[in-house]
Amino acid sequence: MYLKRLEIYGFKSFADRVCIEFDKGITAIVGPNGSGKSNIADAIRWVLGEQSAKSLRGGKMEDVIFSGSQTRKPLGFAEVTLVLDNSDGALPTEYSEVSITRRVFRSGESEYYINRTPCRLKDIVELFVDTGIGKEGYSIIGQGRVEEILSMHAENRRGIFEEAAGIMKYKLRKEEAQRK
């Protein structure tokens, strides 16, 4: 499974619809300070369900919506779509290509879609459990994260290994069953 494409509209500095194609292998994103490199990583975490505005470097969720510039008016909503190649079946779905979309309006209302079909955030989280891809997954290592992992309590660090080993979904199901 690999990241095939990222479509961004109205998210942070991306006022126009931007489509970024990724090939197999390594992709590097370069650009001057403030040109939007980190905003791309934020878009990926956001579409995977990030709920913390702070970790997206904003004060409230509305801050992810393009806020206008000298020549352009602010936009009313932000939308990000992530397309993954699933021809190896790593994601538990029959589709060989999976798209995840999230949209947020200024009212704060969020919408989620899997393959353009409305779904809950929970469905997206479940799709990625044990793949290492979720918003807390080890596939996105942000600044300071290496140090944070090294200085974590043993319990929390174990969580990262449990996810990599593929047993996180059983833990989540057990917790859910115990709550009922």
* Stretch binding ligand ATP (CB under 6 A), from 20-28, 60-68, 102-110, 164-172: 60-68
**Binding of ligand ATP at residue 142 (CB under 6 A)?**
no
* Stretch binding Mg ion (CB under 5 A), from 32-40, 46-54, 92-100, 126-134: 32-40
Residue 38 marked in a binding site: yes
Q: Which does 110 bind (CB under 5 to 8 A by kind): Mg ion, ligand ATP, none?
A: none
Nearer to Mg ion, 32 or 108 (CB): 32
DSSP at 113: E
Question: Out of 5, 22, 38, 121, which residue is the one contacting ligand ATP (CB under 6 A)?
Answer: 38
**Binding of ligand ATP at residue 34 (CB under 6 A)?**
yes
Question: Out of 1, 36, 132, 136, which residue is the one contacting ligand ATP (CB under 6 A)?
Answer: 36
Residue 142 marked in a binding site: no
Structural tokens at position 122? 């929970």
Structural tokens at position 155? 């319990």
**Binding of ligand ATP at residue 110 (CB under 6 A)?**
no
Is 18:10 a contact under the CB 8 Å cutoff? no
Residue 31 marked in a binding site: no
Is 22:4 a contact under the CB 8 Å cutoff? yes
Is 74:66 a contact under the CB 8 Å cutoff? yes
Return the number of other C-beta atoms located less than 10 Å from residue 119's C-beta. 16
Is 125:163 a contact under the CB 8 Å cutoff? no
Nearer to Mg ion, 32 or 59 (CB): 32
- Contacts with ligand ATP by CB under 6 A: the residue count is 14
Cα–Cα distance for residue pair 47/77, rounded to 1 Å: 14
Closest by CA position to 41, among listed 29, 58, 23, 26: 29
Residue 13 marked in a binding site: no
Question: Out of 18, 20, 22, 37, which residue is the one contacting ligand ATP (CB under 6 A)?
Answer: 37
Question: Exposed e or buried b for every residue in 66-75, given b needs 16+ CB within 10 A?
Answer: beeeeeeeeb
- Which residues sit at the interface with ligand ATP, rule CB under 6 A? 12-13, 31, 33-39, 63, 65-67
